[in-house]
Amino acid sequence: MNKILALILTVAISGFTQDFRQMGSNYYAYPTPTAKYSKAPAGYKPFYLSHYGRHGSRFHQPADHYHALYNTLAKADSAGKLTDLGKSLLERAKFLDEYAAPRVGDLTQLGVAQHQGIAKRMVKNFPEIFKNDAYVEAYASTSVRCVVSMAAFLEELHAQKPKVEIHQESGKYLMSFISPLDFGKIIGESNTPAWQKENEKLYSHVNPTRMMRTIFNDSNYIQKNVDAGDLFSKIYEIGNSLQGSPEIEFSFDDLWTEEDLTARWHAQNAWWYSVLGNNPFAKKQGLDNARPLLKNVLDEADKVIAADTAKTDASTDSASSSTGSATAKTAAKPAKKTTATLRFGHDTVIFPFAVLLQLENSTQNTGIETADMENLHKVWRDYEISPMAANVQLVFYKSSKKGTPILVKVMLNEIEQKLPVTCNPQGPSASSGTLQNCPAVPYYRWEDVKEFYGKIAAGK
């Protein structure tokens, strides 16, 4: 078996680039970010971070897909209908049927490493938030892969900052904002007649014939015994999931041409958009799957800011009254306030969450509404929004200078984003239209952000 795997590996690593892995859609393994962060406005330092993260790389599911792939190929092999490439694929399918099928949906070791890396960079990038007196709250979906993702993240966080206090839990009651809706129902509601027509146009470019002829040596056998479209899709999904399991020393890349893979990914990308994006052909019910999360993010941030303000006021009052007072000097230590809120969930929430936030960078706008499905991939790309271990981070900043506003910046997959939030005039010059205390992108005043997204969270 080892010799076979080595041979397959030699065939498979035929020079496919990063672009081919990205066309794995939501199976794209989280890339290590390289973007540099902008400098915070003068006098401002981070004091709170609010996060939602998808679980890391996982094994494909369901198990039936592995079984179907192997059984289809095994049946053809017994009839002498496989090419050499087909026999090679059969060996791979047999291995996956034995190794991966029992692990369907489980987090891979790469998935563990992805969250450890994100945690390590979070501490490095925002050390002020994770000082020794920090208090972190972490919540996970009841899905095992989300719980293990949280555990991996917190393990690294604790390794970096052993004195940080961590509260962690997973429970059904948390699903009200971590993953509230039935995804199957969302799929059904998004499958409108208008969308079906668009979907058919996209799949008209997807032709499994070429691939089937490289696997099977008899076109009549294919026609009578193989559901070509279904097998093509299973190869696409299982093959793309393999990038999340580097211990598996082969891929399915040798089965694809760039044209075939691109056409299939365009259809997949548009499907995610139809179900969880701002798609004009669907009912957009998928967006409701993230409104409770958005509300939770806004509400929790307000609580932290209120507690921080109260603590600051209390410290000032204590300092003012401490002159000649031994009692004030020995006052009880204030209660620990939350410095980071971490949430671990699913792509079915982070997709619509990013859409509601309408995040924009140099390549796309997550909240865009377009009817041009043929060119959707130019302005909206699933792998940029929700690769494995995808995350949204809201980082809050404050200044010691009295009267200055709280600021916030938003990052998608650790990349700073532009928001559709405007800075409202305030202060003595408001009547003249001069904007007071308005920072440069990617920093925004919290009051403006809260007002803008509060309406969206409420469905207005």
Rg (CA), the chain: 25
Of 226 and 437, which is predicted with more confidence?
A: 226
Q: Which residue, 269, 286, 236, is CA-closest to 380?
A: 269
Q: How confident is the model at residue 432 (pLDDT cuts 50, 70, 90)?
A: very low
Q: 46 phi and psi, to 5 degrees?
A: -70, 145
Rounded Cα distance between 92 and 4, Å, is 9
For 186-206, how does the pLDDT look when each residue is reduced to its tens digit (9 = 90+)? 999 999 999 999 999 999 999
Q: How confident is the model at residue 243 (pLDDT cuts 50, 70, 90)?
A: very high
Quick check: pTM over 0.75? yes
* Portion of the chain with pLDDT greater than 90, in percent: 82
Of 433 and 105, which is predicted with more confidence?
A: 105
What integer pLDDT is reported at residue 430 of this predicted model? 43
* pLDDT at residue 321 tops 50: no
Q: Looking at residues 129-136, what average pLDDT do you find? A: 93
Q: Is 371 left (phi over 0), alpha (psi -120 to 50) or beta?
A: alpha
What integer pLDDT is reported at residue 308 of this predicted model? 80
Q: Looking at residues 284-296, what average pLDDT do you find? A: 97
* pLDDT at residue 5 tops 60: no
Helix spans in 191-241 (H) = 193-203, 209-215, 219-225, 228-241
What integer pLDDT is reported at residue 362 of this predicted model? 80
Helix-strand-coil split of the chain, %, nearest 5: 55, 10, 35
Q: Looking at residues 147-170, what average pLDDT do you find? A: 97
Q: Looking at residues 431-439, what average pLDDT do you find? A: 57
Q: How confident is the model at residue 434 (pLDDT cuts 50, 70, 90)?
A: very low
Return the bridge partners of 365, or none.
360
